[in-house]
Structure 1
Amino acid sequence: MKEVPLSEIKDDLSRYLREAETQEIIITRHGRPAGVLIGFESEEDWFDYRLEHDPRFLRRIEQARGSLRAGQGVRLEDVDTE
């Protein structure tokens, strides 16, 4: 993780977006954290990020796990593929 003042980000956003593909960049304002710049190497990375932070998707995952704990549903390992 790298910290960069907002004034530097504004001056060279393209450069910091490229850097953010490999590490999160903490944007500071007056020396204090103000935000995070996260870059994506591909559209797939963007899609994964959106799923990981989508409350509806996370809720459905938790419901599915709850069903499995309650003995309902079928585990992926138990699905017979032909």
Structure 2
Amino acid sequence: MARTIRKAGVKEVPLSEVKDDLSRYLREAETQEIVITRHGKPAGILIGFESEEDWFEYRLENDPRFLQRIERARNSLQSGRGVRLEDIEQE
């Protein structure tokens, strides 16, 4: 999967600035989350994607069906109904 590691820190920007230069902030959001403020209070967040893979990974990480499937798989493994990677024979 694509990497979702972002640089440390979050940048806060007033909505009026984002509206004036959205393309610039989209580029910045590829590496750093940008909190958009309205009247000095957080109102939203801008998250950019460097690639199609980043966009795909974001969608997976936020898809309730995918998250439920992962949870079911983890529960299955915890209850002993799984196969360890080490036990799979190499062909």
User: Which bin holds the TM-score, normalised by the shorter protein?
Assistant: over 0.9
In 1, Cα distance between equivalents of 2:60 and 2:86: 23
Offset of residue 74 of structure 1: 1.5
1:1-82 correspondence runs (5 A): 1-82=10-91
Q: Give the 4+ runs in structure 1 shifted more than 3 A.
A: none
TM-score normalized with structure 2 length:
0.85
In 2, Cα distance between equivalents of 1:21 and 1:51: 18
TM-score normalized with structure 1 length:
0.94
Name 2:7's counterpart in structure 1. Answer: none
The answer to which structure, 1 or 2, has the higher relative contact order (CA under 8 A, 6+ apart) is: 2
% identity of equivalent residues:
80
1:4-62 Cα shifts (integer Å, max 9, x gaps):
00000000000000000000000000100000000000000001111111111011001
In 2, Cα distance between equivalents of 1:52 and 1:59: 11
In 2, Cα distance between equivalents of 1:38 and 1:8: 16
Cα pair distance change 1:58/1:77, threshold 3 Å: farther
